[in-house]
Structure 1
Amino acid sequence: MPDYGHDLLFGTFITPDAADPAAAVARARDTEQAGLDFATFQDHPYQPRLLDTWTLLTWVAASTERLRIAPAVLNLPLRPPSVTARAAASLDLLSGGRLELALGSGAFWDAIEAMGGARLTPGQAVDALDQAVDVIRALWDAGARGGARAGGEHHRVAGAKRGPAPAHPIGIWLGAYKPRMQRLTGRKADGWLPSLGYADPAALAEGNRVIDAAAEEVGRAPGEVRRLLNLTGAEIGPAPRGFLQGPPEQWVDELLPLVTEHGFSAFFLATDDPEQIWRYGEEVAPALREAAARERTAPARPRGARPAAARAARRDGIGYGAVPASLADGAVEPGDREYDRVRHTYMRSGSPGLVLRPADADQAAEALRYARGQRAPMAVRSGGHGISGRSTGDGGVVIDLSRLNRVELLDRGSGLVRIGAGARWSDVAAALAPHGLAIGSGDHGGVGVGGLATAGGLGWTARLHGLTIDHLAAAEVVLADGTRARADAGTDPDLLWAVRGAGANMGLVTSVEIRARELGEVVFADFAVDAADTAALLQAWGAALEEAPRELTSFLRLLPGRRGSGPIASVQAVYAGDDTEAAGKALAPLTAIGPILGRQAVRAPYRALMPAGHRPHRGAAGPVMRSALLDHLTAEAAEGIAAVAGSGQSLGVHIRAVGGAVNDLAPDATAYPHRHQNFSLAAVGAGPRVPAMERAWEELLPLTDGMYLSFETGTGPEALHRAFPEPTLSRLRDLKRRYDPDQVFSTNFPIPPAGR
């Protein structure tokens, strides 16, 4: 039989003994500490001597950090699949994507019937399991339209609300021994989980044959079904006594053919002995991995044949069969279950033809080379906040950098930090907090590092520390030709200059090195202010900020009134320091800008200002956004902003204070040249067509000076010149001709190369 090419996994199969509840959890911790991947537990709800498996799984997940968990196998007749689906998704979300779901059709029917379950014939039990798989997957498919409808006579949902979606695509494994169950496994399951005590090597080989044939009949590649095995009756000992009863080297010799000849890639040792767990993790697992690496000839797991519905969803111009093997596991097509999880951005619905998720910089370069060879557009995505929607890659290839998310403090003395482009700023804040460091980086923890760190970065400490790009010391970049380059002050300083403000045009940035600043606690204040006299309020707020100490940065949001009430201003301010007396003096002028409807102020660590915000992206029609910069909030400008906010088509107007340290740099120090303005303005329109708001905006525009491009959904030469006024634009065009003459990077405010 073939080797299906899956990576090897190792785990334990632990008894959930109610007589010693702490023991099962302790053995799971041993499993994690021994370097194993999984802890699994049998499920017999009718046995009073055993802990409830689902409760135990939850407790184990909370008591470990990286350990993956699974029931082996869940007793379906006593666990309705509709409830199981939601329980599994919830536990997967709570554990950070560490659950897999192994299901069984049922056994010990007298005990099941005594607990209130229905007795089924063997054929009925298989039918019930078949229907249960459909029900569970329908409920997990939170992105599908309408209520979930699936199942049949034994288990069904008829218009049930979908969701929640799991944190990752939970694999459904089936414990199957008879041909009918094995055929179901081949048709629908993600894994086959027999136990060695019930199936000898000959039975395993026959099971593989049945599963493979069933998979191929429905257009699946046999390798889509992982083969897993419970090792029962096995013991690591000093001398050979029988199959899997002897020293570690014997185990390797006897397990290796199961990998290379029978395609098994996960082995769960049934034991409650801590010494056995440690020896399995430290002596058997690494030795078998090493031996398998020498012996295996199978390529990385093939994506293989696909169901007809999935093939029909493929897009013209993309060579799906040519996806590099190193990227195959992270590739998502429109027909995949993961597609709805990766297709959208935070504010935009998307329909890419293929999403590639490289795991390192070399894979990112390979992804770029592949994408260049397709007859389809290409887009690069870091965190996926994506206000403009330019990283959805509709119809094309999206290179999603979310797996490049490492945060590494290189030097505490200088504060130098290396950050993967796919990390989010909440990750950065959390990693730096124990060291008393912070990087000013926008006002939303869910934003990706790559987009913000190459465009600007207007954050809570902008007036004290400047923009995020002002502290960017180096960048690792994949250039348009697929080669990798480093840009720093001594190596390719021109590229570093361009990355700091126009990075999306010059290459695919995989990581950045930024100097963090000393910052512990800050004072955060939040005011709600009556904005009936909007123009006067804006002038007062602007004047207060221009006179404020640099430690104070404030953002103001104008929100339209609801149900007959007048407009309200939400004013938030951060004093970058823990001196509450100084903070009070700095904040006092903000309390006089208008009638205060409510206020609060707290001292908090900087990381508290950057909550995770990692909610799944569901997409939306997406608003219109307009961006501009202002020197001052003059009476005329304030009236113009009030008109935009009061157009009846605005969801809100956001004004961010800049100035201060932002303006300490010369306009030509970075590719972000706007170094004299004091305010950044963004207007959000309620829909794709907002003519009244647009008219008010056009009247305001002559009073503005420049634009922060990440808040703008419009495109075209006028927007480009507002984002990059001369001589910045000409310098960028010269560099574009050097680094990307073919305009490979052309989706995010494309800059034409000089000469075009």
Structure 2
Amino acid sequence: MPDYGHPLRFGSFISPLAAPARHAVDLAVLSEDIGLDLVTFQDHPYQAVFHDTWTLLSWVAARTERIYVAGNVLNLPLRQPAVLARAAASLDLLSGGRFELGIGAGGFYEAIAEMGGPLLTPPDAVSGLDEALEVVRGIWDVDDPAPLRVAGRIHHVDGPRRGPRPAHDIPIWVGAVRPRMLRIIGRKADGWLPSLPWLQPGDFARGNRTIDESARKAGRSPEQIVRLLNVSARDRADELARLAIEDGASVFILASDDPDELRRFAEVTAKEVRERVAEARDTAGAAGASAGSRAAGAGIGGDPVPASFADRALTPQERGYARYTHSYFRGARPALVLRPQSTAEVQDAVRYARKHREVPLGIFSGGHGLSGRSLNDGGIVIAVDALDTIELLDGNRVRLGPGALWGDVAHALAPHGRALTSGDAGTVGVGGLATAGGIGWFVREHGLTIDHLRSVEVVTADGELVRAGVDENPDLFWGMRGAGANFGIAVSFELDTDSVGPQVGFALLLYVPEDIAVFLQDWGTAIEHAHPSVTGTLMISPGGRQTAVQAVMVVDSDDPDTIVDRLRPFAGLAPLANQSVQLTPYSALLAPPPGTETQHGHGEPHGHSALVRHLDTDVAEGLAELLDSDTSFILSVRSAGGATAAVPPEATAYAWRDANFLVVTLGGGTADFEDRWARLQQHTEGMYISFETDTGPETLARAFPAAHLDRLRDLKARWDPAGLFRDNFYIDPGSNRF
């Protein structure tokens, strides 16, 4: 049998004994301390001497920081699949992606029945496991908009909402020995987890053959399925190494409650197994032929991906790929997704993409994006969503990874009375917004997100890591603040935060204006004269005889009288159909509603953006005309201005500092709509690139003033002359100024 080339992992299999109460937890913490990768517990809820395994897993996950946790294996007849799926996703999210799902058909059926579970025959239990895999996968598949329905005989669901999405692609390992279960593993599971002491000579090899044959019939590669083994302290390192080299085992889990045996396994046995397997792989060329066999299939044009991605490159056939086929509005199907987990791996990914300049390249930071330019069809996507560091530094500074979400940033800063203006949705990723601008709820009071940026680390087009700030590569620092997608992949940001109270004022006002153009002018005047702590966004959908306008407003104050006083000028702008004002933490303001899933787009989005100084007569009448067009769309008018204008226009690549409003449309696209937008555009200046789906030199000329664009072209010629980063408002270093 082959060496499937998976990385070696070593774990512990600890008895969940209830007495002494903390003993199992202490052994789990020890497992992490001595360097094991995984800690597991058996699951027999009918045993009164055992802790409940799920409670124990949750406690251990909270007590540890690095080690993965799993059931070995969870008793499916007593763990209803849909509930189990949600529990697994929750524990994975809470632990930072450290949960693995090991399940089994049950056994001990009379004992299960005594606990109130179904009295199953062995064939029914196997059928139930088959059905349960469909249910669990379906709950996790939040990208599928269809209701989840599984009409199983043992397990069935009829339309529950999918989600939440786990923090990582949770593998499903199945404990099994019999051929029917092994065939199910080949079709549907991610790993086989038998116990070596229970196997007869040759059983493991025969089981592998059954799984591999079933996988191939299902159109899967056998290499997708990890082979795990529970082992005992009597199993020697040379035998475990043989099982890895000849039979493809890659995860060895020691069943022991003896601390000394665990230490010996981690410090002696595991080391010897690793050395033997590494030597055998080198000798046999397995690093290129076995571990690289997946990579060869995953690569572009037959070119294997870098060794650092040999087990993690995603193609359309791999689990986890679907996450990168949808943005907020757009659907895509890249040929290859590389998901770095370190700066060095970002460098590897960039160097690989540079070798394949002929295919599209998208950079995906982890949150939702309206334009969809982070994804592509048939190209490479470098997804940096795993680089989600949120680290509080000395003073008021914070270090963020590009894959962090702004909602999580707000949550981390809240206990310290700090915040960062960062768009209006917590599901936006740090990387895209912090290189484009950042018009958020505190923009009038504290400026743009990029105005808080003090330094950024960037992997440039040649794969080098450079740091940019005021005193180091200042030209690159200038360009990264507003046009960063053109110059590299930002892997770390350092930003200064602002003070914020425990709560802010949050208002929802529903206007029914008689004259929309007059209302827009009055709104604009009120915003421009409002206290800097006040920001607001209008949301308007045309339709019906009278247009309703929803205003979403934030006041940076936790004093109710101050909030009411600063909102008072907005109360009489038009008749109000509804209104509410409340105090809420800023972090809660950015938290998405429960069940919200932002990555669900299909097809191609259509959107426009424009920046305007004032909502004067020409702009207001142009917007009113746009609302009379022959198509459906959403119009958003966001307040900007304020502290944004305190920074000189030439200080950053983002130049439109005197604009008090951002106008955004989502939808439309008809000829009539485009004609009306073109007429409105004559009264605007500049645009905000994150909300624009048009491309081309005319669009680029609206994104940056001429002098800025000249400077950006010079920077592009220096930092990316071959145009590797070209799929997000590409600045051609060789073209003349439009």
TM range (shorter): 0.7 to 0.9
Give yes or no for contact 2:240–2:273 (8 Å, CA) kept in 1: no
* Matches for 1:531-570 after TM superposition, within 5 Å: 531-533=512-514, 534-560=516-542, 566-570=547-551
TM-score (norm 2): 0.85
Q: Distance in 1 between matches of 2:133 and 2:666?
A: 43
Q: Secondary structure at the match of 1:101?
A: strand
Task: Give the match for residue 654 of structure 1.
Answer: 636
Residue 361 of structure 2 corresponds to which residue in structure 1? 378
Work out the CA distance in 2 between the residues paired with 1:48 and 1:742.
67
Map 1:41-56 → 2, pairs under 5 A: 41-44=41-44
The amino acid of 1:642's aligned partner reads A
Measure how far apart 1:145 and its partner are.
Answer: 8.4
What does the per-residue CA deviation read over 1:593-623, in whole Å, with 9 as the maximum and x for residues that have no partner? Answer: 2223333333343322322578362223354
Gaps of 5+ in 2: 282-286
Residue 428 (structure 1) shift: 1.9
Contact 1:85–1:140 (CA<8 Å) still a contact in 2? no
In the alignment, what sits opposite 1:629?
A: 611
| 2:455 corresponds to | 474
Counterpart residue number, 2:421: 440
What letter is aligned with 2:336?
Answer: L
Matched residues in 1 for 2:444 and 2:145: separation?
46
Question: Are the structure 2 counterparts of residues 199 and 568 from structure 1 closer, same or farther at C-alpha, using a change threshold of 3 Å?
Answer: same
Indicate yes or no: 2:445 matched with 1:464: yes
Residue of 428, 431, 435 corresponding to 1:454: 435
Q: How does 1:608-623 map to 2 (within 5 A)?
A: 608-611=588-591, 615=597, 617-623=599-605
- For the Cα contact (< 8 Å) 1:558–1:653, is it kept in 2? yes
Q: 2:676 is matched with which residue?
A: 696
How many Å separate the matches in 2 of 1:129 and 1:606? 44
Task: Report deviation, 1:91.
Answer: 2.6
Aligned residue in 2 for 1:499:
480
For residue 85 of structure 2, what is the aligned residue in structure 1?
A: 88
Partner of residue 291 from structure 2, selected from 302, 311, 314? 302
Counterpart secondary structure, 1:477: strand
Counterpart in the other structure of 2:284:
none
Shift of the 544–146 alpha-carbon distance from structure 1 to 2, 3 Å rule, reads: closer
Q: 3-state SS of the aligned residue for 1:322?
A: coil
1:486 aligns with 2:486: no
| CA pair 280-504 structure 1, distance change in 2 beyond 3 A | farther
How much does 1:638 deviate?
1.4
* Residue 664 (structure 2) aligns with: 682
SS of the residue 1:703 aligns to: coil
Given residue 266 of structure 1, which amino acid in structure 2 is its aligned partner?
V
The residue aligned with 1:199 is 199
Match of 2:496 among 515, 525, 529: 515
The 2-side partners of 1:113 and 1:571 are apart by 55
- 1:735: which partner in 2? 715
Partner of 1:325: 307
Give the distance between the partners of 1:335 and 1:166, measured in 2 at CA: 20
CA gap of 1:649–1:21, structure 2 versus 1, over 3 A, is farther
- Residue 100 (str. 1) matches residue 100 (str. 2): yes
Find the aligned partners of 1:303 and 1:163 in 2 and give their Cα distance. Answer: 35
Instruction: For 1:84-483, list aligned pairs within 5 A.
Output: 84=81, 87-96=84-93, 97-105=97-105, 107-108=107-108, 116-120=118-122, 133=133, 137=137, 143=143, 163-164=162-163, 167=166, 168-177=168-177, 185=185, 189-199=189-199, 204=204, 223-231=223-231, 243=234, 264-270=249-255, 276=258, 284-297=265-278, 298=281, 299=287, 302=291, 304=293, 318-319=300-301, 322-374=304-356, 375-412=358-395, 415-483=396-464
In 2, Cα distance between equivalents of 1:39 and 1:61: 10
Q: Which moved more, 1:56-65 or 1:96-105?
A: 56-65
Q: 1:685 to 1:294 in 2, by over 3 A?
A: same
What is the rounded CA distance, in whole Å, between the counterparts of 1:132 and 1:595 in structure 2?
A: 54
Bigger Cα displacement from structure 2, 719-728 vs 370-379:
370-379
Alignment: residue pair count: 718
How much has 1:384 moved relative to structure 2? 3.9
Q: How far, CA to CA, are the matches of 1:186 and 1:223 in structure 2?
A: 10
Shift of 1:625: 1.3
Query: What one-letter code is carried by the residue in structure 2 that aligns with 1:711?
Result: F
**C-alpha contact (below 8 Å) 1:627/1:683 kept by paired residues:** yes
Cα gap change, 1:290 to 1:488, in 2 (>3 Å): farther
Distance 1:147 1:449, change over 3 A: closer
Q: Distance in 2 between matches of 1:183 and 1:594?
A: 67
> Which residue matches 1:247?
none
Q: How much does 1:556 deviate?
A: 2.0
Does the 8 Å CA contact 1:455/1:710 hold for their aligned counterparts?
yes
Q: Is the 8 A contact 1:531 1:537 kept in 2?
A: no
1:513 match: secondary structure: strand
For 1:17 and 1:515, the matched residues in 2 are separated by 49
Can you list the C-alpha shifts for 1:12-34, whole angstroms capped at 9, x where unaligned? 44445689988767876776687
Q: Secondary structure at the match of 2:722?
A: coil
